[in-house]
């Protein structure tokens, strides 16, 4: 007899072509149901599903269950068989509570993601650099006056502490970038790469952007001014900080920026989706293309 494995939010069921033959219900607790829903979201097989399908050949309608049986989501049984939560003592209020917990779980996981932590470090670094510049300007003005050393010393210690923290943050950003975005780090450098990710709002968002958008990340004010007032559009944003662009002749900068943006686009896709290290082949291609640009 053909057996079908069907999972609902309140349990998993083994059915024939007409009715449920066996079931394992989930605990009637919002937290427990949320945990199972999260596992399903992550394409994992539940313990209850493995137990019901053990030593059996079953038909399933979810790709995540393909290790347990034969995938036939268009089988009419999945549309005709009726499995209602109220028949097993489960209320929709319980599903509502579990859904709220699930939403909170997603938010918590997102806030813990490495690239969002990286964005916070980049923002903190920029704040510290701005603070260090303001303090240095103040100290320079103060130094023009005849001032007792004991009055200036605490201020100098503050500047030193800020600069030490800038150095520590830069080192941490470089370390994290080489771990979570090795291809992007190799192509544009870890600090510039981190700034691009920060401007994009995360690695996945950046991976979905066209190269032309990556090229002008960080030049949003100039782009807005161009759209409002006309003139020349910006050719590059943050990537201008890379030596191959800012040290190049002006007539070559746009071409080099387009080249680097194209390779960064490929690199960030590899970092996010395939996790393959393709940095060497990208760098080799950049080297060849740079020679062509300079010859022209």
- For the chain, what is the mean pLDDT? 89
Please check the confidence at residue 220 and state whether its pLDDT lies above 90. Answer: no
Would the pTM of this model clear 0.75, i.e. be above it? no
Confidence of residue 245 (pLDDT cuts 50, 70, 90): confident
**Where do the domains of the chain lie, and which CATH numbers do they carry?**
3-111 (3.30.420.220), 114-295 (1.10.246.90)
Give the mean pLDDT of 192-220.
90
Predicted pLDDT of residue 232: 64
Please check the confidence at residue 268 and state whether its pLDDT lies above 70. Answer: yes
Q: 93: which 2 tokens?
A: 């209020």
Express each pLDDT in 148-202 by its tens digit. Answer: 788 888 888 999 999 999 999 999 999 999 999 999 999 999 999 999 999 998 9
Give the mean pLDDT of 28-32.
96
């Amino acid at each position: 007899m053909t057996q079908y494995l069907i999972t609902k939010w309140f349990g998993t069921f083994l059915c024939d072509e007409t009715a449920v033959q066996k079931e394992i219900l989930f605990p009637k607790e919002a937290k427990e149901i949320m945990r199972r829903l999260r596992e399903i979201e992550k394409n994992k097989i539940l313990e209850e599903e493995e137990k019901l399908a053990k030593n059996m050949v079953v038909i399933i309608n979810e790709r995540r269950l393909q290790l347990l049986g034969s995938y036939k989501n268009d089988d009419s049984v999945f549309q005709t068989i009726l499995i209602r939560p109220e028949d097993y003592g489960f209320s929709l209020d319980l599903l509502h509570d579990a859904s709220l917990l699930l939403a909170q779980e997603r938010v918590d996981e997102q806030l813990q993601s490495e690239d969002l932590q990286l964005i916070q470090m980049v923002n903190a670094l920029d704040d510290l650099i701005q603070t260090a510049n303001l303090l240095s300007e103040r100290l320079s003005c103060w130094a023009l006056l005849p001032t007792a050393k004991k009055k200036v010393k605490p201020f100098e210690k503050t500047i030193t502490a800020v600069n030490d923290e800038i150095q520590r943050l830069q080192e941490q950003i470089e370390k994290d970038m080489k771990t979570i975005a090795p291809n992007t780090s190799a192509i544009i450098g870890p600090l510039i790469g981190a700034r691009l990710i920060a401007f994009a709002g995360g690695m996945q968002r950046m991976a979905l952007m066209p190269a032309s958008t990556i090229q002008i990340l960080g030049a949003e004010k100039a782009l807005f001014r161009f759209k409002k007032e006309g003139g020349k559009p910006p050719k590059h944003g943050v990537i201008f900080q890379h030596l191959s662009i800012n040290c190049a002749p002006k007539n070559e900068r746009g071409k080099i920026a387009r080249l680097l943006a194209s390779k960064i686009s490929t690199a960030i896709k590899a970092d996010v989706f395939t996790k393959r290290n393709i940095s060497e082949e990208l760098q080799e291609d950049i080297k060849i293309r740079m020679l062509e640009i300079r010859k022209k």
